[in-house]
Amino acid sequence: MIFMKEYKQEEYLMLSGIQHFAFCKRQWALIHIENLWQENYHTAIGNVFHEKVHDGAITEKRGNIITSRAMPVHSSALGISGECDVVEFHLDKSGVKIKGRQGRYTPYPVEYKKGVPKKTEVDTLQLAAQAMCLEEMLCCDVNSGYLFYGQTRHREKIEITHELKEKVTDIFQQMHMLFERGHTPRVKPSKSCNSCSLNDLCLPVLCKSKSAKGYIQKMLNEV
């Protein structure tokens, strides 16, 4: 991986923010810069689904696979930290050593999602970011992972290409720039707004040029 700089821990952004950013830059900024969040049907179901994934032993070994759940990950090169739902370590001569285990293993991140595979690449980008964290932490290449969808009960193998990793790097650089400036992009109404958990707070029609926080503050001042 080629990176421009190393971020300090206090500069780290949430890894999972990449899915918000890829969905809508403004949504990401509202959540991560303005600290606004609103639960809707989709996010509530997603939370319950993730709780089920994390319900069980943190690490277990079955055959040639070690499964680690809720594994914290980070990357100083990307300036991010977060958690992998599951990381599978497959016994593999060309893999890496794991403390306290015999043999060598290759890690595969597995991200669990409710619903069905999306038409956009938001989930793939999140998985690729997890893979890049694992690469940095374990000093190895992670070139594939899995997306598991709750509605289809099926997992899909995802190739994490060099191009995908470059895209992830570029996105996090954009996120850091916006975060440093504290800048929330303006509203750009799109189809995404219909399923956006922040639709009511973003007020896409009413505040095309204002920050949501400023708008809400103004409304409160008028009460």
Is 192 near ligand SF4 (CB under 6 A)?
yes
- Scanning 1-9, 52-60, 155-163, 189-197 for contacts with ligand SF4 by CB under 6 A, the matching segment is 189-197
C-alpha distance across the termini of the chain, in Å: 53
Among 17, 80, 204, 211, binds ligand SF4 (CB under 6 A): 204
3-state secondary structure 44-100: HHHHHHHHHHCCCCCEEEECCEEEEEEEEEEECCCCEEEEEEEEEEEEEEEEEECCC
CB of 189 vs ligand SF4, minimal distance in Å? 6
Give 195's DSSP letter: G
CB nearer ligand SF4, residue 95 or residue 115: 115
How far, in Å, CA of 10 to CA of 113, rounded? 29
Is 22 near ligand SF4 (CB under 6 A)?
no
Is 199 near ligand SF4 (CB under 6 A)?
yes
Is 24 near ligand SF4 (CB under 6 A)?
yes
Using DSSP, how many helices (H) and how many strands (E) does the chain show? 7, 7
Q: Which residues of this protein are in contact with ligand SF4, per CB under 6 A?
A: 24, 26-27, 30, 187-188, 192-193, 196, 198-199, 202, 204
